[in-house]
Structure 1
């Protein structure tokens, strides 16, 4: 599916983006473009910048990424709020993974306008440019915080989802009326660009997560600072997030929301797991409870009751995935919302093993 294809990953310089790029290379992609305002940890590599188009865009070629990519990774410095830059990056692209976002909860609380411009306007720039360019499939990365949002980050992601789904609905209605949707090109014998959404939980080991903080505090013998030990969060490895995106690319239909039946853990369990990892034995940690901050909830919801009533399973030999079709038929009138309180729970030993695997 990905052999010799051109793939664009927005926000591709972060923890998830780097893993996604590596996966596409392993699957035989012909070219992977990383669209980002900065190259993140790639900045310590020697690169060549090449002007393209009218010279306003810069491709940054890194022939040493992963050691064996033969120049297949190209960096484009740009901002998703700049529609022209996004359009330029989309030329010839087959698949798009849109991960660029303002995702720091507290940063979004401080600058909700910026969160709105990046998470909503920027996303719609990506979707519109992809349809104009005739891209085959687009996967938009969202978050569990988009369900019943409590803060600016969740609110902007929720609005982003609604706007993407409304755009998909408009395309479908135009097709039903035997009309060509605005700004969409026919590809692959008449099919149109497919846009789907995935929701991530907390990505363990990625930048800004609490596990490295807990491990550091435990190693230093300090009190572990927690907001509320009873808070629960969906916990995913970065590799899990990569797999979820691949499922959406392979199975997602226009307007789908695709989720994993992810496991969850309480903050208390995360702390106990960090202490167990550091001390190699189960012990009761000393906690300093600082209380929840603006935008934080006691638990997160991956899919609402209404969404779960429409969800259908996706065949996979790895994990359990669900596809929530756009305006899909009722499949289960007894469905309950899927949240981090009623999901399968990770133990402290599980967390310790994950930390060991992450090499923190």
Structure 2
């Protein structure tokens, strides 16, 4: 979809009234794709917390940061820009430990069920090749649209000697949160607060 959007952006005149840009980020905490609500349900129901691989890392981005990313794109985008919000990460093991401590169930069982099909050890948000031509904007990366004309010689007889070497940006090499830091971040989420309070009421 990013390529489709950039294809349209590339076809627009330079004075177009519409600016097309994109945002890219990992899972939003407590969203539909997040494991956090599942882990909380398993704690509250007394079932073991199901973990595929404890050493996996995932970006931890609250909804407010994903909204801020969209606002940043609105305010700073040029035609075809892609914006990435930098975010910390943690291992799944530390995330589970943080939730167990917040719910005051340190001995709650954990069931390591093994890798699921196509599951990744870490999430990659930007390749080194993208970052080589991008801008570091502090809390964000801007990846500029490639506006070069398609040149098939580059695939057969020519290359680019002026390449820079960057590492990919992924959840293994971003800032890694400790268990206390994960707990602090979780406590900023209304959904986590609500589940903890409901859990306390159920146990009275």
Give TM-score, length-normalised by structure 1: 0.46
In the alignment, what sits opposite 1:75?
Answer: none
Q: 1:211: Cα distance to partner?
A: 0.9
Give 1:262-301 correspondences, 5 Å limit.
262-279=87-104, 283=106, 286-301=109-124
Q: 1:221: Cα distance to partner?
A: 4.1
In the alignment, what sits opposite 1:9?
Answer: none
In the alignment, what sits opposite 1:320?
Answer: 139
| 5+ long unaligned stretches in structure 1 | 1-159, 176-189
Q: Which has the higher contact order (CA 8 A, sep 6+)?
A: 2
Give 1:4-15 correspondences, 5 Å limit.
none
Change (3 A) 1:301 1:328: farther
Alpha-carbon displacement from aligned partner over 1:36-85 (angstroms, at most 9, x marks no partner): xxxxxxxxxxxxxxxxxxxxxxxxxxxxxxxxxxxxxxxxxxxxxxxxxx
Q: Of 226, 232, 242, which aligns to 2:57?
A: 232
Q: 1:208: Cα distance to partner?
A: 4.1
Corresponding pairs, count: 179
SS in 2 for 1:225: strand
Q: Tell me how far apart the structure 2 counterparts of residues 293 and 342 of structure 1 sit (CA, whole Å).
A: 23
Q: Of 242, 245, 269, which aligns to 2:67?
A: 242
Alpha-carbon displacement from aligned partner over 1:194-214 (angstroms, at most 9, x marks no partner): 111101211112234211221
Q: 1:215: Cα distance to partner?
A: 2.2
Alpha-carbon displacement from aligned partner over 1:297-338 (angstroms, at most 9, x marks no partner): 111101001011111133xxxx61111111279998132110
Q: Is the 8 A contact 2:10 2:147 kept in 1?
A: no
Q: 1:285: Cα distance to partner?
A: 5.3
| 5+ long unaligned stretches in structure 2 | 149-159, 196-204
Alpha-carbon displacement from aligned partner over 1:245-293 (angstroms, at most 9, x marks no partner): 000000011111101111111111111111111118xx46532122232
Give 1:76-87 correspondences, 5 Å limit.
none
Q: Of 81, 102, 115, which aligns to 1:256?
A: 81
In the alignment, what sits opposite 1:310?
Answer: 133
SS in 2 for 1:195: coil
Q: Tell me how far apart the structure 2 counterparts of residues 215 and 297 of structure 1 sit (CA, whole Å).
A: 22
Q: Tell me how far apart the structure 1 counterparts of residues 122 and 107 of structure 2 sit (CA, whole Å).
A: 23
SS in 1 for 2:142: strand
Tell me how large the CA RMSD over aligned residues is: 2.5
Q: Of 177, 183, 202, which aligns to 1:352?
A: 183
Q: Tell me how far apart the structure 2 counterparts of residues 354 and 304 of structure 1 sit (CA, whole Å).
A: 27
SS in 2 for 1:279: coil
